[in-house]
Amino acid sequence: MMKLPLVALLVFAGLGAASADTLKVLTAGAFKPVMIDLIPGFEKQTGHKIVVINDTAGALKQRIRTGDPFDIVIAPTTTLEPLAAEGKVVGESVMPFGKVGIGVAVALSARQPNIGSVEGLRRTLLDARSVAYVNPSSGGTSGIHVERMFQSMGILSDMRRKAVLANGGLAVEKVARGEAEIALQQASELRLVPSIRFAGMLPEGVQNWTIYAGAVSPAAQTKDSALLLMSIFADPSIDPLLRKRGLEAP
């Protein structure tokens, strides 16, 4: 269990340890691994209960627009910006937590793929029998970028013929189960599956770094507790944890 950053404990003490709250947090998958590490310590120290709902960024946006109640949403800044403009989240509450790029995974028994250059990656993808990634139509950030990358490489039609799509969740599990040869997904999600080989990151020429941030709902009943939890996720002292989980400081 991770210890809470000192600054968060001081804030908690300043709040006077009010009655326990239940916070509903909507989160995109890329930041969920960090939450898994930090939430138990937060619950133990504060007495609050955290309910986590995980979905793609596109699905989270739809949930919020249709009135699904929540206290905090964690999503790409590109998702939060229009929601703030619509008054669906409190714009002044937005806090960046970390950024993550897209990585490549193969089976443990597979050879290291050639992904050190854009051309090497292109050839590797064309030679692969099957490629797993998140279905772009589900609103997954990585899947949307992956298909744009295929388009820029001139191989979109080839890749769609061999695509093994995941409608949210961990596309990399397709590799773990032998259903796909290669997976392309955000690095923090690839690292959740130990039974695969993390082969590395996409080359910078086709990489996509996504900044994840949190925002509070205008209808949140527990704004002080929500801001306290967000301050933990934004604290610089958790940078080593971000790196361990495949993210970087924003």
For 87-91, the CB contacts below 8 A with 24+ separation are 87/218, 88/64, 88/217, 88/218, 89/64, 89/215, 89/216, 89/217, 89/218, 90/215, 90/216, 90/217, 90/218, 91/215
10 and 95 both lie in a single domain: yes
Residue 113 shares a structural domain with residue 88: no
Specify the pLDDT at position 168.
Answer: 81
pLDDT of residue 101: 97
Comparing C-alpha atoms, which of 25, 21, 55 is closest to residue 214?
A: 25
Q: Into how many domains does the chain fold?
A: 2
Whether 1 is in a domain gets the answer no
Is residue 146 included in any domain, yes or no? yes
- Rounded Cα–Cα distance for residues 113 and 119 (Å): 12
Identify whether 72 is part of a domain: yes
Q: 214 and 195, same structural domain?
A: no
Residue 5, pLDDT score: 53
32 in a domain, yes or no? yes
Q: Would you say residue 249 lies in a domain?
A: no
For residues 27 and 70, state if they share a domain: yes
Do 95 and 110 have their domain in common?
Answer: no
Q: Note whether 45 and 30 are same-domain residues.
A: yes
Compute the distance between CA of residue 150 and CA of residue 154 in angstroms, rounded to an integer. Answer: 6
Tens digits of residue pLDDT in 60-77: 999 999 999 999 999 999
CATH number at residue 214: 3.40.190.10
Q: Please state whether the predicted TM-score (pTM) of the whole model is above 0.95.
A: no
Residue 170 covered by a domain: yes
pLDDT of residue 13: 46
Whether residues 36 and 87 fall in one domain: yes
| Distance separating alpha carbons of residues 220 and 19, to the nearest angstrom | 16
Residue 157 lies in a domain: yes
Count of residues making up the chain: 250
| Residue 137 belongs to domain spanning | 102-206
In this predicted structure, what is the pLDDT of residue 222? 87
* Per-residue pLDDT tens digits of the chain, which is 250 residues long: 445 554 454 455 444 445 688 999 999 989 999 998 999 999 998 899 999 999 999 999 999 999 999 999 999 999 999 999 999 999 999 999 999 999 999 999 999 999 999 999 999 999 999 999 999 998 889 999 999 999 999 999 999 999 999 998 899 999 999 999 999 999 999 999 999 999 999 999 999 999 999 999 999 988 999 999 999 999 999 999 999 999 999 9
Helix (H) or strand (E) holding 58: helix 57-65
pLDDT of the residue at 10: 45
Same domain, 187 and 159: yes
pLDDT at 18: 52
